[in-house]
Amino acid sequence: MSEQRIATSKVAGTWAWFFQRVSAVLLVVFLAIHIYADHFMDLGGETGDEPLITFSDVSIRLDQLFYIVVDYGMLSMVLFHGLNGLRTVMFDFDMFAKRKRLIDVTLWVVGIATLIWGIVILLPFISGSGG
């Protein structure tokens, strides 16, 4: 490594800094697909290309493995990026920085619990016949 200094927080650490960048780039890609597929692509569902999103529209989309991977991939990246970002903000405050271990454990628990929540709520769409 050169002597060039990167703006990593000493408390948050280099890996957190690195994966924040990796997840950021992935999120831009996922978000582009997400917005296009949800709001612009004509899925041939009951509502056609109307702006209204329906259960059957989403079910039809999630019949394809690609969109399941996109949705769950985006969910995991957004949770990592969001909670890791929150962690970085918190560690700028002394009251949180000196409770690093507690914050880390809490954020991991919240992240994994939310990931499971997110996985479960998409299942009705995936199992739905989709009209």
Partner 1 sequence: MKLSELKLRNFKWLFGRNSEFWPTNMKTGMWAWVGHRLTGLALVVYVFLHLSFITTASFGEDGADFDSLMEITSQPLFVLMDFILVIVVIYHAMNGFRVILFDMGIGIKRQKLVFWICMAVAAVLVVGGLWAVWDLIFVPSGGA
Query: Which positions lie near partner 1, rule CB under 8 A?
Result: 4, 6-7, 21, 24-25, 28, 31, 39, 50-56, 58-59, 78-79, 82-83, 85-86, 89, 94-95, 114, 117-118, 120-122, 124-125, 128
Residue 39 φ/ψ, nearest 5 degrees: -115, -15
Coil vs helix vs strand at 2 = coil
Instruction: Report, in Å, the least distance between residue 105 CB and partner 1.
Output: 18
Residue type, 54: T
Residue placing its CB nearer to partner 1 in the complex, 44 or 48: 48
Instruction: Report, in Å, the least distance between residue 1 CB and partner 1.
Output: 12
Instruction: Report, in Å, the least distance between residue 40 CB and partner 1.
Output: 8
- Which string of b and e fits 47-84 if b means at least 16 CB within 10 Å? eeeeeeeeebbbbbbbeeeebeebbeebbbbbbbbebb
Residue placing its CB nearer to partner 1 in the complex, 29 or 105: 29
